Amino acid sequence: MTTDSRSEKRLEQLREKAWQEGVVPGRGVDVVGGPIPRKPGYYGQPVVKPPVWTWEVPLYFFFGGIGGMSAVIALSGVLFHHIDLARMAMWIAAIAGAVLSPILLIMDLGRPHLFLNMLRVFKHRSAMSMGAWILTAFGTSAVAGLITLELHARQIFPGTLDQPVRLAVGIFIFAAAIFGTLLATYTGVLIGATAIPAWFLHRTFLPIHFGTAGLGSAAGVLELLGHRIAALNFLGFYAAAVETALLIWLSVDRHGAADRAIHQHGSGWLIRSGEILNGPLALVLRFFGFIPWAAISFLAGALVSRIGWIVVGKVSGADPEAVFASQR
Amino acid sequence: MIGEGIKSTNQRKHSYVQDHVEVGFFTDPSVCIGCKACEVACKEWNQVPDDGFIWSGNSYDNTGHLGASTWRHVMFLEQDRQKGNQITGPMGLPTDSQSDLSAVAAAKAEDPFRWVFLSDVCKHCGEAGCLEACPTGSIVRTEVGSVLVQNDVCNGCGYCVVSCPFGVIDRRPSPLPDAGGAFKCTFCYDRQKSGLVPACAKVCPTESIVFGRLDDLRARANERVQHLKQNGYGDAQVYDPTETSVCGIHAFFLILGEPEAYGLPPKPQIPTIYLKSAWTAAFATAIASIIATLVGFAFFS
Which B-chain residues 259-278 have CB contacts (< 8 A) with chain A? 260-269, 271-272, 274-275, 277-278
CATH number at residue B163: 3.30.70.20
Question: Does residue A299 sit within a domain?
Answer: yes
Which residue in B129, B155, B299 is closest to A118 by CB distance?
B155
**Position A28 in a domain:** no
Q: Report the number of distinct structural domains present in chain A.
A: 2
Distance CA(A139)–CA(A94), nearest Å, equals: 7
Query: In this complex, do B274 and A7 lie within 8 Å of one another by their Cβ atoms?
Result: no
Q: Cα A188 to chain center, whole Å? A: 7
Name the CA radius of gyration of chain B, rounded: 24
CATH code of the domain in which A103 resides: 1.20.1630.10
Q: Helix, strand, coil proportions of chain A in percent (round to 5)?
A: 75, 0, 25
Dist. CA A185–CA B286, nearest whole Å: 7
Does residue A180 sit in the same domain as residue A230?
Answer: no
Preferred mutation among B285, B290, B295, B300 to probe A, highest tally of A CBs within 10 A:
B285
pLDDT tens digits along A153-182? 888 888 888 888 889 999 999 999 999 999
Domain check: are A168 and A235 in the same one?
no
Enter the ipTM.
Answer: 0.89
Instruction: Tell me which residue range forms the domain holding B287.
Output: 270-301
Q: What is the pLDDT of residue B83?
A: 80
Residue B267 has pLDDT above 90, yes or no: yes
If asked whether residues A115 and A170 sit together in one domain, one would say yes
State how far residue A82 is from chain B, nearest Cα, in angstroms. 9
Residue A327 lies in a domain: yes
Do A279 and A201 have their domain in common? Answer: yes
Residues B203 and B158: beta-carbon distance below 8 Å:
no
d(CA B159, CA A313): 13
Give the pLDDT confidence score for residue A311 in this predicted structure.
Answer: 96
Are residues B252 and B297 both part of a single domain?
Answer: no
Beta strands B236-239; B251-256: pairing state:
antiparallel
pLDDT cut 70: percent of chain B above it:
90
| B226: contact with A, CB 8 A cutoff | no
Asked whether residue A270 is assigned to any structural domain, the reply reads yes
What is the tens place of the pLDDT at every residue in A223-243? 999 888 999 999 999 999 999
| A174 and A247 belong to one structural domain | no
Tens of pLDDT, residue by residue over A94-112, are: 999 999 999 999 999 999 9
Could you tell me the pLDDT band of residue B229, with boundaries at 50, 70 and 90?
very high
CA B112/CA B109 separation, integer angstroms: 6
Same domain, A243 and A171: no
Beta strands in chain B (DSSP E): 23-27, 72-79, 114-121, 139-141, 147-149, 170-171, 182-183, 209-213, 236-239, 251-256
Domain boundary among A162, A193, A224: A193
**Segment B87-121, tens digit of pLDDT:** 766 555 555 554 555 555 555 445 677 889 999 99
Provide the CA A122 distance to its chain's centre, in angstroms: 22
Predicted confidence at residue A38, as pLDDT, reads 66
The answer on A200 and A186 residing in a single domain is no
**Residue A110 forms part of a structural domain:** yes
**Mean residue pLDDT across chain A:** 90
- Pairs of residues, one from chain A and one from chain B, whose beta carbons lie less than 8 Å apart: 294
pLDDT at A21: 65
Q: Do B162 and A109 count as a contact with CB atoms less than 8 A apart?
A: no
The model's confidence at residue A31, banded by pLDDT at 50, 70 and 90, is low
Q: What is the C-alpha to C-alpha distance for residues B161 and B163, in angstroms, rounded to an integer?
A: 6
Do residues A313 and A184 both lie within one domain?
no
User: Is B56 found in the same domain as B138?
Assistant: yes
d(CA B108, CA B94): 13
pLDDT in tens, B38-89: 999 999 999 999 888 888 778 888 898 999 999 999 999 888 777 877 776 6
> Which amino acid belongs to residue B247?
C
* Residue A113 CB-density burial (10 A; 0-12 exposed, 13-18 middle, 19+ buried): exposed
Q: Tell me whether residue A326 is in a domain.
A: yes
Kindly state whether residues B190 and B125 are assigned to the same domain.
Answer: yes
pLDDT at A80: 92
CA distance A273 to chain B (A): 23
B248/B282 same-domain check: no
In chain B, the number of structural domains is 2
- A20 burial level (CB within 10 Å; 0-12, 13-18, 19+): exposed
Which CA distances in Å does A242 have to A149, A153, A221, A260, A278? Answer: 32, 34, 18, 23, 10
**Half-sphere exposure of residue A101: CA atoms within 13 angstroms, side-chain side:** 30
The pairing of beta strand B114-121 with beta strand B139-141: unpaired
**Domain shared by B173 and B251, yes or no:** yes
pLDDT at A40 (0 to 100) = 82
**Mean pLDDT, residues A25-40 taken together:** 54
pLDDT band for position A11 (cuts 50, 70, 90)? confident
Mean pLDDT of A307-317: 96
For residue B275, which residues of chain A lie inside 8 Å, CB to CB?
Answer: 125, 127, 189, 193
Q: What 8-state DSSP symbol labels residue B272?
A: G
Residue A1 confidence (pLDDT)? 46
Of A160, A193, A226, the position where a domain reaches its end is A193
Question: Does one domain contain both B25 and B157?
Answer: yes
Q: What is the pLDDT of residue A162?
A: 82
Task: Supply the pTM of this predicted model.
Answer: 0.89
Please give the Cα distance from B216 to B34 (Å, whole number). 25
* C-alpha–C-alpha distance, residues B86 and B233, integer Å: 10
Report yes or no on A12 lying in a domain.
no
The pLDDT of residue B78:
84
For the segment A253-271, what is each residue's pLDDT rounded down to a tens digit? 999 889 999 998 889 999 9
| φ and ψ of B94, to 5 deg | -65, 135
Same domain, A203 and A255: yes
**Alpha-carbon gap: B235 to the closest alpha carbon of chain A (Å):** 17
Residues A231 and A156 in one domain: no
Range of the domain at A262: 196-328
Checking if the pLDDT of A22 tops 60, the result is: no
- What span, in angstroms and rounded, lies between the C-alpha atoms of B143 and A295? 56
Residue B192 shares a structural domain with residue B229: yes
Residue A18: exposed, middle, or buried by beta-carbon count in 10 A (0-12, 13-18, 19+)? middle
Buried b (16+ CB within 10 A) or exposed e, A229-264: bebbbbbbbbbbbbbbebbeebeeeebebbbbbbbe
Cβ proximity of B178 and B172 under 8 Å = yes
In a domain, A7, yes or no: no
Give Cα separations from A175 to A135, A182, B32 (angstroms): 12, 11, 60
Q: Examine the fold and report which residue of A173, A193, A213 is the final residue of a domain before the chain moves on.
A: A193
Which carries the bigger pLDDT value, residue B12 or residue B4? Answer: B12
A204 vs B260, B278, B299: nearest CB: B278
CA-based nearest residue in chain B for residue A34: B80
Cβ-nearest to B278 among A26, A177, A193: A193
Q: Is residue A185 located within the same domain as residue A207?
A: no
Q: A242 with A135, same domain?
A: no
Same-domain check for residues B217 and B295: no
If pLDDT is split at 50, 70 and 90, which confidence band does A27 have?
very low
